[in-house]
């Protein structure tokens, strides 16, 4: 009797050059929201991808474009969406500002559906100034169990966190009256990411240069979403047999389980164009003591994990 062949995703997950993927579960589907990877002047739109099993992915084109954002003129990247009260809020970086005098920073768009289309919610950036030395780029939104929403962001070696109000399009204040808090861990460069597991906060970020082979991901553990975040070590980095420049990731948890997957971009071996980045997925495994094992990058990707079956099983 012929053994049934196990379906695997393969890496990269889908065709095209994409980077900085954020991964979510929305409306009974797995979603990936990446940057369209091209020279800055060509990064003028966002696409999204969805799947019901991690293997077959469907592309939704141009869920948000530069023409939809009155203040954006150069480069859109690093999206991070979240759902609240039936609406989808989509945070993104635009214009790569170099000083407080430049127009740009982190924007927010909104839609009734995870596939968009999204519309600019403010007509201006949500964050458009440098605070504690952090360039306002690479937003990552995290919703805690109590419904508090936090937005982590930053480049130029500094990371900040802000609290979002319930409307998700304005900034709140912390208990001490502050709006911005610096939470920069050692060796932080960009690309923050936060998850919560067993009441522990896992804060992750990218190190190295995104155009260089040593791009990688490190992490810290804390009992608070505000840190302190003391660096433990790298969990994702280049493998001379597989790919280089592995970093700026998102995380997927199979609903109702303790199965976790890291979704990230990397550069195929032999590629020298820094914009040649592709989105991949691999298992992320926690040891019994709660630490994260170094991720083994693969060409095979992951086994099919039908989302409905997972939800029904648990």
Residues acting as catalytic residues: 20, 190
Contact 99, 125 (CB under 8 A): no
Residue 51 has which token pair?
């799947």
For 44-53, the CB contacts below 8 A with 24+ separation are 44/76, 45/76, 46/76, 46/79, 46/92, 47/16, 47/18, 48/114, 48/115, 48/116, 49/13, 49/14, 50/114, 50/115, 52/28, 52/306, 52/307, 52/308, 53/7, 53/304, 53/305, 53/306, 53/307
Query: What distances in angstroms separate CA 291 from CA 187, 203, 217, 218, 234, one per listed residue?
Result: 19, 12, 14, 12, 11
């Amino acid at each position: 009797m012929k053994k049934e062949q196990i379906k695997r995703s393969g890496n990269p997950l889908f065709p095209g050059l994409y980077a900085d993927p954020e991964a979510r579960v929305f409306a009974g589907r797995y979603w990936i929201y990446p940057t369209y990877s091209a020279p800055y002047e060509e990064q003028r739109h966002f696409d999204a991808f969805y799947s019901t099993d991690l293997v077959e992915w469907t592309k939704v084109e141009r869920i948000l474009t530069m023409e939809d954002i009155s203040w954006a003129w150069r480069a859109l990247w690093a999206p991070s969406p979240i759902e609240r009260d039936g609406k989808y809020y989509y945070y993104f970086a635009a214009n790569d500002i170099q000083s407080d005098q430049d127009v740009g920073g982190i924007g927010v768009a909104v839609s009734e559906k995870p596939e968009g289309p999204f519309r600019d919610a403010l007509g201006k950036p949500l964050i458009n100034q440098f605070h504690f030395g952090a360039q306002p780029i690479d937003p990552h939104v995290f919703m805690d169990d109590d419904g508090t929403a936090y937005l982590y962001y930053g480049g130029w070696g500094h990371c900040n966190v802000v609290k979002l109000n319930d409307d998700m399009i304005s900034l709140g204040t912390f208990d001490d009256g502050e709006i911005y808090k610096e939470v920069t861990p050692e060796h932080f460069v960009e690309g923050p990411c936060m998850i919560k597991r067993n009441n522990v906060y896992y804060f992750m970020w990218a190190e190295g240069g995104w155009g260089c082979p040593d791009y990688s991901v490190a992490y810290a553990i804390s009992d608070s979403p505000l840190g302190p975040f003391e660096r433990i070590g790298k969990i994702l980095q280049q493998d001379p047999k597989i790919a280089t420049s592995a970093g700026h990731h998102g995380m997927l948890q199979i609903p109702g389980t303790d199965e976790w997957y890291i979704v990230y971009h990397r550069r195929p071996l032999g590629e020298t164009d820094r914009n040649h980045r592709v989105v991949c997925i691999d298992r992320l495994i926690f040891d019994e003591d709660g630490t994260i094992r170094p991720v083994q990058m693969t060409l095979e990707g992951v086994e099919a994990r039908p989302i409905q079956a997972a939800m029904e099983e648990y």
